[in-house]
């Protein structure tokens, strides 16, 4: 077990092989496995923190320590965390929300971890699949610096919740097709090597990457997206294998979804602005350009079809465009088949997802305009 009463002392050096051959009476001991600690940042999460901790207790590879990081909590989050077997860390004077809370907790935790030990950061509204920790541990090698979760939406939320779950399933489908290469080290659940976190802080202090002088960037609206770019900039791979599934909250209203996605999109754009064009960010720039091109193309198509139909009537049957439409529907339905029959039906109907796509496009252009018009303004979530 991980003991935070005092920093862990130096581990004994392994016995050299030639010494082992000479001392047959004292065979080498098997190497100790890396320790695993978990940090769960939480602000007034009394309703959900118990389920998050229980999900960690159900892991096939249980953590050695679970710490709930209570950040300016005014509810019973701390008491419930203790009742479920976790330790509690209270932030002091934190004004930087999740990133600031994590920086305080990591600074407290890391002196007790060896470079090869692991630190899992998990959102309080998320429950990990029982195989998450074991799968993540098996994914690490010298080139992999962090392993992120593959997130799925929780049940409920009506049609809006279903559309979000369909979106998450498509993201998981794309991850599988790319061999589990993570696009973002999601805040819902990501495991780091302790050594990598130390290197991130050192790189910030040396000016190699921006975002302050600690572990998570205080200058980013989306600290998980920025951390992904930081880890990759240091030369490490970021992975999201299928076995690292997590179930997380879906937004119950359009207003909350708008604020969540605006923060995500605006943060992603600002992170690219801050990092500039590099070998790591080139792919992300291309994704943003393609996203904008797709959104404009979709809007132009809708305007054209609406105008043409109003002036000249329905254009009639076209074998070519009908074939293109069928391919589009097949791709949409196949990519959400694991989300269940309701998801497949909604995908086949097309109209609900077209409206959802219009919503996403509005988020994109609003984020882009907001960044251009108020490039230095900081985002305040509501």
| 105-124 b/e (C-beta count within 10 Å ≥ 16 → b) | bbeebbebbeeebbbbbbbb
Q: Is residue 44's pLDDT more than 50?
A: yes
> How much is the average pLDDT of 73-86?
97
The DSSP code sequence of 52-95 is HHHHHHT-SS--SEEEEEE-S--SSHHHHHHHTT-EEEE-SS--
Phi, psi dihedrals of residue 16, rounded to the nearest 5°:
-60, 155
Round to whole Å and give the CA distance between 198 and 157.
40
Which residues does 151 contact at the CB level (< 8 Å), separation at least 6?
126, 168, 171, 172, 186, 188, 189, 245, 246, 247, 248
β-strand partners of 151: 246
3-state secondary structure of 166: helix
pLDDT in tens, 242-300: 999 999 999 999 999 999 999 999 999 999 999 999 999 999 999 999 999 988 888 88
pLDDT in tens, 123-177: 999 999 999 999 999 999 999 999 999 999 999 999 999 999 999 999 999 999 9
pLDDT in tens, 58-72: 999 999 999 999 999
Question: How far is the first Cα of the chain from the last one, in angstroms, to the nearest whole number?
Answer: 40
pLDDT in tens, 210-253: 999 999 999 999 999 999 999 999 999 999 999 999 999 999 99
Helices marked H in 143-253:
158-177, 194-205, 223-233
Biggest alpha carbon–alpha carbon distance for the chain: 94
Which residues does 222 contact at the CB level (< 8 Å), separation at least 6?
263, 264, 267, 268, 271
């Amino acid at each position: 077990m991980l003991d935070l009463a005092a920093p862990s002392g130096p581990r004994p050096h392994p016995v050299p092989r030639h010494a082992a051959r000479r001392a047959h009476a004292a065979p080498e001991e098997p190497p100790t496995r890396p320790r695993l600690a978990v940090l769960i940042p939480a602000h007034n999460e009394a309703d959900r923190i118990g389920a998050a901790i229980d999900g960690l207790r159900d892991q096939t590879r249980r953590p050695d320590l679970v710490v709930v990081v209570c950040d300016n909590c005014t509810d019973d989050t701390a008491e419930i965390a203790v009742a479920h077997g976790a330790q509690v860390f209270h932030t002091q004077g934190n004004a930087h929300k999740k990133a600031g809370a994590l920086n305080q907790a990591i600074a407290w935790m890391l002196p007790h971890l060896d470079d090869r030990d692991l630190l899992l950061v998990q959102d309080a509204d998320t429950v990990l699949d029982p195989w998450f920790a074991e799968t993540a541990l098996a994914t690490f090698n010298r080139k992999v610096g962090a392993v992120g979760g593959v997130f799925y939406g929780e049940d409920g939320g009506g049609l809006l919740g279903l559309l979000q779950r369909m979106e998450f399933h498509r993201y998981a489908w794309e991850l599988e097709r790319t061999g589990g290469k993570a696009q973002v080290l999601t805040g819902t659940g990501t495991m780091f090597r302790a050594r990598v976190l130390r290197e991130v802080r050192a790189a910030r202090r040396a000016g190699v990457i921006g975002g302050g002088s600690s572990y998570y960037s205080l200058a980013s609206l989306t600290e998980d997206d920025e951390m992904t770019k930081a880890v990759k900039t240091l030369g490490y791979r970021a992975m999201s294998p299928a076995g690292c599934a997590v179930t997380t909250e879906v937004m119950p209203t359009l207003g909350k979804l708008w604020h969540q996605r605006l923060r995500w999109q605006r943060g992603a754009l600002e992170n690219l602005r801050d990092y500039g064009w590099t070998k790591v960010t080139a792919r992300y720039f291309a994704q943003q350009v393609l996203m904008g091109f797709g959104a404009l193309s979709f809007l132009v198509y809708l305007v054209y079809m609406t105008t043409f139909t109003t002036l000249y009537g329905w254009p009639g049957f076209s074998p070519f465009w009908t074939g293109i439409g069928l391919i589009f529907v097949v791709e949409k339905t196949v990519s959400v088949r694991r989300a269940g029959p309701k998801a497949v039906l909604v995908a086949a109907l097309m109209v609900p997802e077209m409206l959802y796509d219009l919503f996403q496009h509005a988020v994109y252009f609003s984020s882009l305009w907001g960044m251009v018009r108020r490039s230095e303004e900081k985002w305040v979530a509501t």
